Every structure is written in C-alpha cells, then in structure tokens.
Amino acid sequence: MHIMEGFLPPAHALGWAAVSLPFLAWGLRSIGRDLQSHPERRMLLGVAAAFAFLLSALKLPSVTGSCSHPTGVGLGAALFGPAAMVPVGFVVLMFQALLMAHGGLTTLGANVFSMAIVGPFVSYGVLRAASALGFSRSPAVFLAACLGDLATYITTSIQLALAFPAAVGGFSVSFFKFAGIFALTQVPIAISEGLLTLLVVNAMVRFNAHELRALPVMTLGAREGGA
C-alpha cells in the first residue's frame, strides 16, 4: 500500500499532503482532549499504535510483483474513533519511511490519506452501521477491520490511477489495473486482519473490560452473543 519515495508527481504529492493536513490537525485536537479527560488511556493508545506499526510493517510479496500488507488501523478506530488514528497513522508512516524505507516522505501525505484517514473512517463507519443493524461485537469488529483494510487499498489504487492514467482508457483502465494487482494478495490479507483484530479486541474485553467501557467498541457489548 505504501507509495514509495518519489513515485508520485510533485503536484499530486503536495495535493494529498494538503488534503491530509486538516485531518491531522483535527486528530491531534481530538486525541489531546480525550487523553486530557482520560489519561489512563495513554497505554491503550500505545497498544493501538504498536498494532498498526507492526501490521503495516509486514511487507508481503505479491504474485504480481507488487507488495501488500495489513494496515492495523481498524483496532484503533474501534477503540478511539477515526480522528485519533490520523496522528497515530502519521507517526507510524513517518517512522516507517525514515527507519525502514517503507513508503517515503514525499508520498507521506498520500499514504496518510489512504491508511490513516480513509481506512479508520471506513472501519468506524462500518462499526457504527453494524451497531445500527443489530450486529454483535464479533462480526462488527471483523467487518470493520477487513473493510477498512480494503478501503485503504482502493484509495491507493485511485491515487495511482489519478497520477498515472492509462494512455488508452484513462483513469478507469488504470484504476482497475492497480486494484487488480492489489486484490490478488490483499483480499486474503484483509480477511486475516479482520480475524486478528477480532482476537485482540476479544482479549481486551475479556481481561480489561472496565477500562474499555466508554470506548466505541463497547457499544456493541450488549449484543455480543446474538447478531
């Protein structure tokens, strides 16, 4: 998913950075208010950040010659909401670009938009929709993490297609080419991420439900055991 250093045209790189900046400012303000009101959640936020860092650092080779990886942002979105994951994702992506040559500084805005903005917002939206439809926690968390992962890769495909439209067919042909390359490996990875996120959430609820009681994922607790 990470678009590598220097790959995007300068105008596109700057454009995605400009789009991502207001979300980053909003996320910093949101997470600051939350931690000021609930300082005991700092460690839990660290767990969500570490989960996103570790999963998104797993570069898995694709049969098409590209690479795919989980995103890990669904967990943080379920715990803290989507805004908090924007600064978390920004830090994760920046460290990966600097320390692991995974992504890049010039493409940081584009990568933040896909993984730290679209992914968490889709995950949170799916979680809320599942709650409204009466889903229990387990299927809701699984779908939220899985679809948030896939949304990240669809966004990356859009970004690449906008930057490199096909000579014949333009944006649409280019989009389906990039999305098709990602899909071969990303669909099973997204399913795996959904299952792993579900295991982590269930473990947290089992051993630390008191600390989680006011977080978004716990709104589904009353229906756990019946979808």
Residues 6+ apart with CB under 8 A from 183: 153
Domain assignment of residue 223, yes or no: no
CATH number of the CATH domain containing 163:
1.10.1760.20
* Number of domains composing the chain: 1
> How do residues 41-72 score in pLDDT, each as one tens digit?
888 899 999 999 999 888 776 644 456 889 99
Domain assignment of residue 161, yes or no: yes
Domain assignment of residue 3, yes or no: no
pLDDT at 181: 85
With tokens 């500084």, the residue in question is: 105
State the pTM of this model: 0.90
With cut-offs at 50, 70 and 90, classify the pLDDT of residue 226: very low
Domain assignment of residue 150, yes or no: yes
- By the 10 Å C-beta count (0-12 exposed, 13-18 middle, 19+ buried), 226 is classed as exposed
Task: Give the type of residue at 139.
Answer: P
pLDDT at 4: 86
Domain assignment of residue 5, yes or no: no
Domain assignment of residue 113, yes or no: yes
Domain assignment of residue 94, yes or no: yes
Residue 100 is part of which domain span?
10-218
Domain assignment of residue 89, yes or no: yes
> How do residues 89-124 score in pLDDT, each as one tens digit?
999 999 999 988 888 899 999 999 999 999 999 999
